[in-house]
Amino acid sequence: MLSIGVLALQGAFREHINMLERCGAKASALRLPPDPEAPLGGLDRFDGIVLPGGESTAIGRLLNVWKLMEPLRKCAFSGKPIYGSCAGLILLCRDITGPDGQPSDQPRIGALHACVRRNAFGRQIDSFETTLNIKGVADDLNAVFIRAPVITSADPDVQILAEVEAGGSSCPVAVRQEKLLATSFHPELTNDGRLHSYFLEMCR
C-alpha cells in the first residue's frame, strides 16, 4: 500500500486524506518539524506528497516556521512525486505573480518550471465549477475552482493536461512535469477520485 503525506498546516487536507484513502492509499497528515537526522528530513518515508489548497502566502510562511520548506524543496528537486492543488500549485511554481500581474516574493518551493498568477478568476464570489478534459485522466472530470490561480507561462518540459478560458485566452489549469502534478482546481471537493488515482500511479 502506498504511503502519502498530506501537508496539514492549512486548507482542505482532510478532504485529500479521505480521497486518497478511498483510492486505496495510506494517507497521513504531515505537519511535524523535520527530523534532521533522517533523509529528506524524514519525508523519505512517503511514496508521495500532497500540497492542498488554502492561502499560499500563509502556507509558505508556516513551511518556513516549521522548517519544512527545505525538505519539501529537496523532495521536489530529487524526483519524489508531489501533487499540488490550488495553493499547492502556487507553492510548486518557480515564478509567482499577484492578480495584477506584478511579481510576488512570497515563499515557494519553486520546482515547477512555470509562472502562476494568483486569484486569476477573481474573488471568492467568482468561484465556479466546470467539466474538464484532462489528458491521461478523464474527459469529463468535474473541477471546482475557488479563488483559483492559472499558469501564465511554462517551459517546454511542462506538459499541459487541461486548460480553461481566462481573460479571453486559454490558460493551463492542470500540468505535469515529470513527477510533479499540479492543478488550479480542487478535485478533493468532489466525489471523483480519478485525479488522485492518477497521482497514485505516478507514485508507484
Q: Which residues are catalytic?
A: 86, 186, 188
- Say if CB 40 and CB 80 are below 8 A apart: yes
Q: Where are the beta strands (DSSP E) in 101-193?
A: 112-117, 128-134, 138-145, 150-154, 159-166, 169-177, 180-183
CB 74, CB 44: distance < 8 Å: no
> Which grid coordinates belong to 185?
482546481
Question: Which triple of cell numbers denotes residue 23?
Answer: 483510492
